[in-house]
Amino acid sequence: MKQNRLKSPVLWGAVAAIILLTLRHLGLEPQIAEGAALADLIFNLACTLLAAFGIVNNPTDRNHF
């Protein structure tokens, strides 16, 4: 049985990550505390990994992510 791509939580996680990264690069998201470079780096890394995982994910194969 094939899964609809639009019902995949991995897809929506990737879409959310891309939206958050876009907002951040446009300067539209709330700023975090000054001197929080490590938190900023971790946030960017997590969003990038989520987006990449959403791209390579195959929701039609139930046995493999």
Return averaged pLDDT per consecutive 10 residues of the chain, 65 residues in all.
69 85 76 68 84 76 64
On the CB side of 64, CA atoms within 13 Å amount to 4
- The pair phi, psi for residue 34, each rounded to 5°, is -60, 145
Distance CA 65, CA 11 (A): 12
| Residue 34 DSSP SS3 | coil
Q: 0.85 cut: is pTM over it?
A: no
Q: What is the pLDDT of residue 16?
A: 87
What pLDDT sits at residue 10?
Answer: 78
